[in-house]
Structure 1
């Protein structure tokens, strides 16, 4: 007696699952320039590593004799896979089945995927391409009643945010629950022209009346205008915008290469082939002598960190600070760096929000922080006050003070006011270096001279000459060497020594964090 008949039925059910929403709907998905869910899983994961769980779950139809006629698969796929040789939970919405709507699926599949991640301490990747979670208004008639909203398994989503790396890729229009699942992540991506995120889509918004309607000529334009990547990668809802699904998969894999598999596991060191003692001559002339002249902080990052390892996150929002993952002598670190090319490097509300978020992320996953500082202070003026800059700025400062991972700061030029003091926790050991171009204080002298010396200038026969004389006197007082005399700064260094010194910091930081320094992965 064999079980050949049952295995034949299993294969038949698996075939139905592989057909997804059917030939026509899969073709329509491809015609929109989108990959189908199964192709996405194959492209994201290491070749041949995806093992699907719950493949034959779905809505079955039986004939008059009670025999299986067809199965419409659940619009959600998940399973165990490998990314960079490390185990993960990989999930994908299937838009070819009711637009990926959760009311067409089996809620337990999504719950089990999230639960698998935190219980087995596996990173989870969500590929989201769905219209929401509560079903349509039509569903209410089918149920025969309405209900108070609840999201099955959301507690597991929250637990995952505390436990394992969570990556979300928005790969189509995502509304309602789809949007919530995207932002409930540590790293998120949208594909330009392909992805949209909204609490409710254009049809629902338009239904509220003319006051809510946009000026778009058609539905596709309306989706972009309401929630395209140009909106949500500039306001901080989503971290990054890419040009293709392939690029989204590559960035997701790259992000995970820096991260541990779960909170409490040390992240991996890899051999990068970049000497720790490399000294870059270009750093010597990077910061211009003219105080109002800008320079490229991204060039500095390329010179200081291991070649080719800088992975910037959130480039299009909170632009006065660059946030990135990178490596020093193979060790992974989080990077915060002022960008003097945007608002002079002043922290406005969005920049402060971004800094706070990434400091908390670094502390959660126990990665050291390197802070490259050229910060003239918090943004000032009416718009800054209206945006609540000081509250967001203090939140960022508080995050830095709460962080318990090692932090090293390098002051390239300015460090003024409360924002300047937020470079590090002044109550702890200051692992800090300053360049000879350093310029710091409670407020920039250029903006305070006329106020501080108002009476003297008003009494002078030649206020312009007196003002210039005051400037010359203060220029000597504000020399960084005067601060070093008083040990107000720890060390002034040759900029070319920045990389070797930070590589030394990374080794000491990871020694403290308990990593195996001999465990290079080649």
Structure 2
């Protein structure tokens, strides 16, 4: 006697589970430009590494003789696998079975996957499609009552954010709890024209507001990756989404109990780019390409940008310096001269929290004329969101280095570093700083004198010319108001020294979750 008959029955059920919602529903799913859930997982993970858990979890009814009458597989597929040889937990919704809603789940597979990632201290990848395990009113008809809602395993979701890398991918129309699961991540991505994300879909919006909207209008990538900031990046295909997820994870440790991975670098640590010598225009009104500046300093082709189209005055992303994973911030003068608006402040807060959670050294390329001014900026609550960003700077303890490439003015400019720390800070000869830019400062400080002058414009020019002579960064360095003015070509070698020492410090720290958790 052997257990072959039982094993054969288990395999038959696995085969039925792989049929998902049936041939017709799967075909509609594919026709909409979306991969079936197991194909998604296979493309996301290293080839052949996926080991499914709960493979025969399903809703089954039986005939009186014990044979199967109906079989509906769980609409959540999960298990373990590897990405670049490192273990991860992955979970994906099967939209072909009840649109990914809670009444299509079986047991607590989603909860198991999240808790397993937490206890195993490995990243979790959420491939969300549908309501992502959220509720449906059909549940009420099944249980013959309503219920007070709760967010399943949300305590685990919160703890995950302070412990392991969490990635959310919106791969179709994503609503309710599914949308929340995408947003409650360290990195999120959605597919242009295929993915939509919203608190509630068009039918609910119509009943609530009396307005008919299409899914793309309500929550396409142009809304969330280029507007609201609810999703970090947009991509052209699911394959590109999986590639971005792999790249994001390559910079991070598997958990806060480990050190960010270091790789061998083929880039010369002593590389000095001649282009940096004249990179910042002498004309203060001219802009430059801040992304190119970053690329000239970090390891070649290593910069991975996050949130490019949200909070555009601030560039954020991950990179490598001498093979060491680092976090990069840079003001972009092409948008509001690099001044921090409300969106950029929120982006900055979340990014610094990511860096501090996983102990990524921060390199901040500063060209910050201050918080954005004006009526609209005040309406957006820029100062409230701005001081939250400053709090993140001052709460962070990860190694930090600032390069002042041009402007550092006002409260926002002062927040380029926690001034109570002896963090390395260098200035380029193009640097200028103060409580206010001279132009605005003259208008505020000499308002009455200008009003009383017979020729206000001539007096304004005279005052600005006089104060401009005090803008020379050498004068500040003479009084040790800035630690060192450097040749811009020396930037990479100095940052290599910083990154190497930062890596040693982090490697010898007592590791674990920060006292203050990650804020999604």
Q: TM-score range by the shorter chain?
A: over 0.9
2:413 is equivalent to residue 420 of structure 1: yes
Distance in 1 between the 2:9 and 2:69 partners?
A: 11
The residue that corresponds to 2:71 in the other structure is 71
Contact persistence 2:132–2:181 (CA under 8 A): no
Q: Which has the higher mean CA deviation after the structures are superposed, 360-369 or 124-133?
A: 124-133
Show the 5 A alignment for 1:231-242. 231-233=223-225, 234-242=227-235
The residue that corresponds to 2:307 in the other structure is 314
Q: CA deviation at 1:426?
A: 0.5
The residue that corresponds to 2:430 in the other structure is 437
Q: Which has the higher mean CA deviation after the structures are superposed, 336-345 or 447-456?
A: 447-456
The correspondence for 1:409, drawn from 397, 402, 411, is: 402
Structure 1 residues 286-320: Cα deviation after superposition (integer angstroms, max 9, x where no partner):
11111111111011011011001100000011111
The residue that corresponds to 1:219 in the other structure is none
Distance in 1 between the 2:456 and 2:114 partners?
A: 69
Show the 5 A alignment for 1:167-186. 167-186=167-186
2:212 is equivalent to residue 225 of structure 1: no
The residue that corresponds to 1:115 in the other structure is 115
2:327 is equivalent to residue 334 of structure 1: yes
Distance in 2 between the 1:515 and 1:311 partners?
A: 27
The residue that corresponds to 1:353 in the other structure is 346
Show the 5 A alignment for 1:115-514. 115-131=115-131, 133-210=133-210, 213-214=211-212, 216=213, 222-233=214-225, 234-454=227-447, 456-457=449-450, 463-514=456-507
The residue that corresponds to 1:519 in the other structure is none
Q: What SS does the corresponding residue of 1:354 show, helix, strand or coil?
A: helix
Indicate how the Cα distance of structure 1 residues 466 and 45 shifts in structure 2: closer, same or farther if over 3 A, else same: same
Distance in 1 between the 2:386 and 2:152 partners?
A: 36
Q: CA deviation at 1:139?
A: 2.5
Indicate how the Cα distance of structure 1 residues 482 and 74 shifts in structure 2: closer, same or farther if over 3 A, else same: same
Q: Which has the higher mean CA deviation after the structures are superposed, 130-139 or 161-170?
A: 130-139
Distance in 2 between the 1:150 and 1:454 partners?
A: 58
After the TM superposition, which segments of 4 or more aligned residues of structure 1 sit over 3 Å from their partners?
Answer: 132-135, 453-469
Indicate how the Cα distance of structure 1 residues 497 and 69 shifts in structure 2: closer, same or farther if over 3 A, else same: same
Distance in 1 between the 2:495 and 2:318 partners?
A: 14
Contact persistence 2:59–2:72 (CA under 8 A): yes
Distance in 2 between the 1:314 and 1:151 partners?
A: 27
The residue that corresponds to 1:20 in the other structure is 20
Structure 1 residues 341-396: Cα deviation after superposition (integer angstroms, max 9, x where no partner):
00110101110011011111100111110100000000111111111101111111
Structure 1 residues 448-476: Cα deviation after superposition (integer angstroms, max 9, x where no partner):
22343345545656554444333332222
Distance in 2 between the 1:137 and 1:459 partners?
A: 71
Structure 1 residues 4-46: Cα deviation after superposition (integer angstroms, max 9, x where no partner):
1111101101111111111111111111111000100000000
Indicate how the Cα distance of structure 1 residues 72 and 457 shifts in structure 2: closer, same or farther if over 3 A, else same: closer
Contact persistence 1:16–1:70 (CA under 8 A): no
Q: Structure 2: which 5+ runs fail to align?
A: 510-520
Q: What SS does the corresponding residue of 1:265 show, helix, strand or coil?
A: coil
Contact persistence 1:179–1:198 (CA under 8 A): yes
Q: CA deviation at 1:132?
A: 5.1
Q: What SS does the corresponding residue of 2:256 show, helix, strand or coil?
A: coil
Q: What SS does the corresponding residue of 2:228 show, helix, strand or coil?
A: coil
Indicate how the Cα distance of structure 1 residues 138 and 71 shifts in structure 2: closer, same or farther if over 3 A, else same: closer
Q: CA deviation at 1:229?
A: 0.9
Q: Which has the higher mean CA deviation after the structures are superposed, 142-151 or 455-464?
A: 455-464
TM-score normalised by length of structure 1: 0.95
TM-score normalised by length of structure 2: 0.95
CA RMSD of aligned residues (A): 1.5
Distance in 2 between the 1:207 and 1:343 partners?
A: 40
Structure 1 residues 216-250: Cα deviation after superposition (integer angstroms, max 9, x where no partner):
4xxxxx10111111111121111111110000000
Contact persistence 1:52–1:80 (CA under 8 A): yes
Distance in 2 between the 1:274 and 1:132 partners?
A: 43
Q: CA deviation at 1:99?
A: 1.1
Contact persistence 1:270–1:331 (CA under 8 A): yes
Distance in 2 between the 1:36 and 1:458 partners?
A: 71
Q: Structure 1: which 5+ runs fail to align?
A: 217-221, 517-522
Q: CA deviation at 1:61?
A: 2.8
Distance in 2 between the 1:352 and 1:464 partners?
A: 35
Q: CA deviation at 1:150?
A: 1.4
The residue that corresponds to 2:59 in the other structure is 59
Contact persistence 1:107–1:152 (CA under 8 A): no
Indicate how the Cα distance of structure 1 residues 199 and 467 shifts in structure 2: closer, same or farther if over 3 A, else same: closer
Distance in 1 between the 2:296 and 2:219 partners?
A: 37
